[in-house]
Structure 1
Amino acid sequence: MGAGRQEDEAFAAWLTPHLGALRRVARAFAESADQHDLMQELTVALWKARPRFRGESADATFVHRVAHNAALTWRRGETRRRRRQEGVAAELALRPAPPDTPEAGLLERLYAAIRTLSPVDRSLILLSLDGLAYEAIAGLHGLTQTNVGARLTRIRARLTILVKEDGDGV
């Protein structure tokens, strides 16, 4: 029993510095009502994957790779879940109230715009927002650094337009 507790504590200590990145992944891949569920899925995926971590990359790189892969898998199942939930009136009650501050509204519009991106583009922008270098992002996705830079430039331009359009309609 003592060994299990030590393992739990070691995992928690290892995971804690990466919780912000996990929250950003959850927020980018899931609507507000589903973000907690996705966070749980990401944590379970990391729990299962951690024994395979060989230290050949930085902890953050490993966490990002596992989290993004788990989020992509979760997202594929999201379509099936949404179909089952359609027509349920209770879903309307779960929608968040309008944000209280302009900054919160802007941030929510940004994440809503990020959710419209393709999964790869979503992953690229999140990794960039998390401060990963183009070299690390390229390595995670099997792209060249030049391709990552070009794609991120297009993604940022698209997000700017989407956030502005959404803000103008408010």
Structure 2
Amino acid sequence: MTQELEHQFVTELEQNQNIVHKVCSLYTNNRDAHNDLFQEITIQLWKAYPKFRGDSKFSTWMYRVALNTAITLYRKSKKQPKTQDFDSVVYRIQSEEYDPTEQQQINLMYAAVKQLGDIDKALVFLYLEDKNYKEIAETLGISEVNARVKMNRIKTKLKAILNP
């Protein structure tokens, strides 16, 4: 890879790294797994970058690579034994900005989303990122109509999970 291409990649990654962190948060339960997944996604982005043609925005391409990498690793990790999430044991220091009720609702939503299938998780993630259905469809490689239908079904599933 040329130095110019390397510089472009690093610049794009720095500007869009929050995408990778959000994907990692969705597919992992602890800081070590998050860091491992972040590293793996970065490696996959690096390997694939010379083939990036610019047909879509870099961020859309990045979502696709990140989600595909996370889903692949998530499926492999299902075969491994479960461990205790240390982050859930750590106590938070309350501050004026910290709203425990809001945090509890966010935690419940994340727990509900984590019960969904791989593609459904990715779709919810992109929806919560305020991506329109066209961008969601492009990122996931499905039709726009399919993205809308899936999202409506997912909303019903999430309501059932959150309000048994």
TM-score of the superposition, structure 2-length normalised? 0.80
In structure 2, list runs of 5 or more residues that go unmatched.
Answer: 93-99
Q: Report the equivalent of 1:31.
A: 29
Is contact 2:30–2:85 with CA below 8 Å preserved after alignment?
no
Change beyond 3 A, Cα 1:125–1:92? closer
Q: Give the letter aligned to residue 96 of structure 1.
A: S
Question: Cα RMSD over matched residues?
Answer: 2.4
Q: Report the equivalent of 2:14.
A: 16
Q: Report the equivalent of 2:97.
A: none
Per-residue deviation, 1:58: 0.9
Percent identical across equivalent pairs? 27
Superposed counterparts of 1:21-170, under 5 Å: 21-33=19-31, 34-80=33-79, 82-83=80-81, 91-92=83-84, 94-97=86-89, 100=92, 101-164=100-163
Query: Secondary structure at 1:152's aligned position in 2?
Result: helix
Post-superposition CA distance 1:80-121 (Å, at most 9, x none): 3x23xx5xxxx5483432664222222222222111111111
Query: Secondary structure at 2:88's aligned position in 1?
Result: coil
Q: Give the letter aligned to residue 58 of structure 2.
A: D
Q: Give the letter aligned to residue 86 of structure 2.
A: L
Post-superposition CA distance 1:50-71 (Å, at most 9, x none): 1110111111111011011101
In structure 1, list runs of 5 or more residues that go unmatched.
Answer: 166-170
Is contact 1:28–1:111 with CA below 8 Å preserved after alignment?
yes
Per-residue deviation, 1:125: 1.0
Structure 1 CA distance for aligned equivalents of residues 85 and 67 of structure 2: 29
Query: Secondary structure at 1:123's aligned position in 2?
Result: helix
Is contact 1:27–1:111 with CA below 8 Å preserved after alignment?
no
